[in-house]
Amino acid sequence: MSDDTFVVHTEEAELPPEPPPHGPMVWARTNLFSSVTNTILSVVFGGITLLFFWNMVGFIIGEDRRWDAVTANMRLLMVQAYPQEQSVRIWLSLAIILVLAMATLAVWGAGTRLSRYAVGTTLMTAGAFLSFLSLIATLHLVLDSRTAVWGLGGLVVGLVLAGVGYQMRQGEESKVPQIPSLMVTAVALAVPIAAFWVIQVPTPILGGGQELAPVALSTKLPLTILYLIAVVSYLVADRTIGEQERFRGPLVALWVLSFPVIVMVILRDPIIPYDLVTSTYLPIGAAFAIVGAVVMWFVADPTKKEAGLGVGALIFVLFLLSWAISVVMVVRILLLMGALFALSAPTFAGEQRARLRYAGVWFVSVVLVTYFVVLVVAESSIRSESGSFLGGLMLTFPLAIAGMALSFPLGVLLALGRTSTMPIFRLLSTAYIEVVRGVPLITWLLVAFVLLPFFLPPGVGIQGVVRAIFAVAFFSAAYLAENIRGGLQSIGKGQYEAAKALGMTTVQMTVFITLPQALRAVIPALVGQVIALFKDTSLVTIVGLFDFLHIARAVIPNQSQPFNFIGVLREPLLFAALVYWIITFSMSRASLRLERKLGLGER
């Protein structure tokens, strides 16, 4: 007797399954009005949302809104007092960053492919939202021809977008990922770029009132050029160096170099004091580089293990003694560096090749450090009355980037220290983390600004921006350390045991086994910390730095001449909120993509 006996064959069983009912009405019934409670909740919260958008749009397009306060102060918000005739330096910096970013995207193969269905869904949502807002705006407006055209235009464009999106979602093959995601991004970014050439923005008129005027050429032309540079450089990079692993190292090095070069060379434009260089820095640098290279070559000999430590200790004593006499600062820096190199020489000791390489690293480091000190000592040709060449969003970004770059390695070290088996490191790291984390960032900023000048040796001054960077970085490191520690603790004991069983040293185990896994596991927390740090930079206003938010909140509402913006607070604040949101949202999206790429949450 076979099983077939008990199976009833019917006509229906041969048919494909009935597609589930769909359409807006069905969707609404299952999602919004499935029960009495849900219906009530939907109506109440739908009403609240509608009211919110109604008031919001009404506020934004209101007759007496002073959006001209934002447009007139756009340069102040972005770069504060950076001289306009030098602004090509800013555009150049942005271009460098963009080219590097595009090369990175190409080399890492960061682009994914999206299905027509997914793009269509996004388009439909965006279009529907745009139509919704335009409809509210049109209803708000007294139907004078100018504004009604914009409102109705938005409505039509939104509906067209939604329609296109709907069409894209049709058909089974629409779910196959085939559209490059970077192309979608490029097209999406082209919209605001193109809009700059079309739209008119509120502009204040001298003597009162505002009018609609096109965006200044000095804004839209560089932005368009930057956009084209980005697109072209991605296409070129994708065809030439695309997805080749050997370019990854150099790219990382370029990124690391790009920050000091952009800030110290391009933006600051130092006037190199050549007479001082030839009389002081060149001889000092050359002497240290050559003599030091010989010493390093000598101490990196594995047979002379203790020599490095002895030489290192000797140089360190020299470094301490150098504070007793009057000497150029670069000598002290190089002495300290020499002591560290000599002390770590046994770790890198090896045969002839390794010794030569170690001496070479020393040589290059001396050259770089001396060059950097010269850059710092040199006067800036950027004359700005505010005393600093960084301000506005151009202060917020370097603060966040430098703060992050400094706090990440420090955080990793602190996390390793806190999980270390050596009591001294554990104790020091724990003490650091608990002390720093236990005090608000504002307090650390005030300490850096108000107390630090009294602690520093006479004659050593630190610029405000740098103090803020250190306060932010040291503060953020404590939080990062705890996040990373969480990751370290999530790693199974088997990983440690397996590493030990393979005969790995503690350093090898940490670098190759535990740390990579720990960092991967805590990416969401790390990104949260980056976003928090980015927003925390707005606290530097408490120590008198003109960051983006401070300009929006305190500077613009206090301008009386030539344009009178006294008390205009709401518009700049709303604009600032929008800018912060766009930036942090992009960060969060990028991190989601990274997580997906690393397969986080799938294992």
463 in contact with other proteins (CB under 8 A): yes
CB of 564 to other proteins, least distance (A): 6
Please say whether the dihedral angle defined by the alpha carbons of residues 506, 512, 515 and 517, taken in this order, is positive or negative: negative
CB of 362 to other proteins, least distance (A): 13
Q: Which residues pair with 204 in a beta bridge?
A: 210
Residues 6+ apart with CB under 8 A from 173: 116
Which of 16, 19, 20, 387: binder of other proteins (CB under 8 A)?
A: 387
> Which CB sits closer to other proteins, 30 or 381?
381
CB 547 within 8 A of CB 399: yes
Spatial distance between the Cα atoms of 546 and 395, rounded to a whole number of angstroms? 8
CB of 127 to other proteins, least distance (A): 36
Q: Which of residues 423-442 bind other proteins (CB under 8 A)?
A: 425
Q: Which two tokens stand for residue 28?
A: 């609404």
CB of 577 to other proteins, least distance (A): 15
CB of 191 to other proteins, least distance (A): 28
Which of 180, 270, 486, 524: binder of other proteins (CB under 8 A)?
A: 270
Q: How far is CA 231 from CA 224, 258, 489, 586, in A?
A: 11, 20, 43, 18
300 in contact with other proteins (CB under 8 A): no
Give the residue from 193, 260, 552, 227 showing the smallest Cα distance to 393: 552
Which of 162, 263, 296, 378: binder of other proteins (CB under 8 A)?
A: 378
CB of 555 to other proteins, least distance (A): 5
Distance of CA 190 to the CA centre of its chain: 22
3-state secondary structure 90-111: HHHHHHHHHHHHHHHHHHCCCC
Q: How far is CA 577 from CA 73, 96, 188, 571, 573, in A?
A: 16, 27, 21, 10, 6
447 in contact with other proteins (CB under 8 A): no
> Which CB sits closer to other proteins, 140 or 332?
332
> Which CB sits closer to other proteins, 280 or 517?
280
> Which CB sits closer to other proteins, 234 or 281?
281
405 in contact with other proteins (CB under 8 A): no
CB of 479 to other proteins, least distance (A): 18
Q: Which of residues 84-103 bind other proteins (CB under 8 A)?
A: 84
558 in contact with other proteins (CB under 8 A): yes
Residues 6+ apart with CB under 8 A from 561: none
Q: Which of residues 36-75 bind other proteins (CB under 8 A)?
A: 64, 72-73, 75
Spatial distance between the Cα atoms of 504 and 499, rounded to a whole number of angstroms? 6
CB of 408 to other proteins, least distance (A): 12
Spatial distance between the Cα atoms of 454 and 269, rounded to a whole number of angstroms? 30
For 9, which DSSP code?
Answer: P
Three-class SS state of 597:
helix
Applying CB under 8 A, which part among 91-99, 287-295, 518-526, 556-564 lies near other proteins?
A: 556-564
Q: Which residues pair with 201 in a beta bridge?
A: 213
CB of 477 to other proteins, least distance (A): 10
Applying CB under 8 A, which part among 2-10, 24-32, 383-391, 576-584 lies near other proteins?
A: 383-391
Judged by CB under 8 A, the number of residues near other proteins is 93
Q: Which of residues 208-237 bind other proteins (CB under 8 A)?
A: 208
Three-class SS state of 450:
helix
Spatial distance between the Cα atoms of 404 and 410, rounded to a whole number of angstroms? 10
413 in contact with other proteins (CB under 8 A): yes
CA dihedral 543, 544, 548, 553 (to 10 degrees): 100
Q: Which two tokens stand for residue 454?
A: 């009294």
CA dihedral 9, 10, 12, 15 (to 10 degrees): 50
> Which CB sits closer to other proteins, 122 or 203?
203
Which of 152, 226, 261, 369: binder of other proteins (CB under 8 A)?
A: 369
For 203, which DSSP code?
Answer: E
Q: Which of residues 483-512 bind other proteins (CB under 8 A)?
A: 505-507
Give the residue from 94, 66, 65 showing the smallest Cα distance to 79: 94
458 in contact with other proteins (CB under 8 A): yes
Which of 67, 297, 470, 479: binder of other proteins (CB under 8 A)?
A: 470
Which of 117, 449, 479, 548: binder of other proteins (CB under 8 A)?
A: 449
CB of 556 to other proteins, least distance (A): 9
CB of 562 to other proteins, least distance (A): 8
* Buried b or exposed e, range 100-116, using 16+ CB within 10 angstroms: bbbbbbbbbebbeebbb
> Which CB sits closer to other proteins, 89 or 550?
550
Burial of 456 (0-12, 13-18, 19+ CB in 10 A): exposed
Q: Which of residues 322-341 bind other proteins (CB under 8 A)?
A: 326-330, 332-333, 336-337, 339-340
CB of 450 to other proteins, least distance (A): 4
Applying CB under 8 A, which part among 115-123, 222-230, 489-497, 557-565 lies near other proteins?
A: 557-565
For helices 523-536 and 393-419, what crossing angle results, to 10°?
140
273 in contact with other proteins (CB under 8 A): yes
CB of 328 to other proteins, least distance (A): 6
